[in-house]
Amino acid sequence: MENGLLAAILFATVVAGTPLVVAALGELVAERAGVLNLGVEGMMAVGAVAGFAAAHTWGSAPAGVGAGLLAGAGMSAIFAFLALTLTANQVAAGLALSIFGVGLSAFVGKAWESESLAAVPATRIPLLADLPLLGPALFSHQWLVYVSWLLIAAVAWFLSRSRAGLVLRAVGESPASAHAIGHPVLRIRWLATLFGGAMAGVAGAFLSVFHTPLWAEGMVAGKGWIALALVVFATWRPLRAAFGAYLFGGVMVAQLFLQGSGLQIEIPSQFLSALPYLATVIVLVAISRNRQKIRLNSPVSLGQPWRPDA
């Protein structure tokens, strides 16, 4: 395979994996606090339409990212109020949020369906971008891709090295114990949920402002569900989540490459389009076979409601 083609595939893999990385890391932080928010798909959809509308109105990609962040956080606040403050079932509340978000984005986005944005230019990193193969594949991306790499490092450091991360993990393992020694469990869970929603919104804004600078109904196309699966795939570890995101991104790019290559392959295009989701199911089934490993790494109180006066 020629270096140029390999670099193009690696480049596309990184781009395809970026929204998965951002959304999965946000959900991972929320789940490490014991909050299971299944509304990632809906939050990404709302973040995508809000980000596109802001970027189109103000002509600014950072404004689009900010709007997506706020929209995602706002959606997660609805979930947090229902699931944390009112102690509603987290699974039901998350599913409802996902359905609501997808419908809301389709309704709000009608006015923007025929619009498009100017492509956000790539930011070449001096010297590194000139490296053979890796330079054009890794160091010639749009700036939000580099921000996602900083996010990976920040979340990994926060959860494993910082005192606040230790407290958040303690809340996810035993909220009663954390409350007994004076930690504000509900406040920590609220903040973790808002962070997860904000990252889902940023992931949606990446799709509509950076990846394909336009809004189209259904453009999230199940990536929120894949991000949820990635958290389990990664056994709640940030670096594994990033690896999994790029792995699934590679599967997405591979099916697009096969469809556009013109090769005489007797495989229906619908099957190739389903490959990323099929890979998700296979990976989850494979991981679920080792229940002991899942049980050892998953937060003990994940999905369980908690009240300080219970």
Q: What is the pLDDT of residue 135?
A: 86
Average pLDDT over the chain, rounded to an integer: 90
pLDDT for 9 equals 87
pLDDT at 294 over 80: no
pLDDT at residue 175 above 90? yes
Of residues 283 and 35, the one with the higher pLDDT is 35
Asked whether the whole model's pTM tops 0.95, one would answer no
pLDDT score of 187: 96
Q: Regarding predicted confidence, which is higher, 35 or 264? A: 35
- The residue with greater pLDDT, 204 or 296, is 204
Calculate mean pLDDT across residues 148-174. 96
**Digit-coded pLDDT (tens) for 100-141:** 999 999 999 998 888 889 999 999 998 888 888 888 889 999
Using alpha carbons, select from 252, 236, 213, 276 the residue that is nearest to residue 155.
236
Q: How confident is the model at residue 86 (pLDDT cuts 50, 70, 90)?
A: very high
pLDDT bracket for residue 1 (50, 70, 90): low
Residue 273 in this model has a pLDDT that exceeds 80 = no
DSSP structure class, residue 128: G
Both tokens assigned to 4: 């140029």
Please state the rounded mean pLDDT for residues 145-152: 97
DSSP secondary-structure letter at 84? I
Query: Are the beta carbons of 176 and 71 closer than 8 angstroms?
Result: no
Q: Which residue has the higher pLDDT, 113 or 154?
A: 154
Which pLDDT value is given to residue 263? 63
Residue 293 banded pLDDT, cuts 50, 70, 90: low
Whether 76 has a pLDDT exceeding 90, the answer reads: yes
Give pLDDT tens digits for 32-43.
Answer: 999 999 999 999
The pLDDT assigned to 269 comes to 72
The set of residues, in sequence order, having a beta carbon less than 8 Å from that of 273 and lying 6+ positions away, is 255, 259
8 Å CB contact between 272 and 35: no
Give the DSSP H/E element, type plus range, for residue 31: helix 3-32
Q: What is the distance between the alpha carbons of residues 249 and 267, in angstroms, rounded to a whole number?
A: 20
pLDDT range class, residue 262, cuts 50, 70, 90:
low
Q: Which residues pair with 214 in a beta bridge?
A: 116
**Residue 308: pLDDT band with limits 50, 70, 90:** confident
Between 18-22, 42-46, 217-221, the lowest mean confidence (pLDDT) is in 217-221
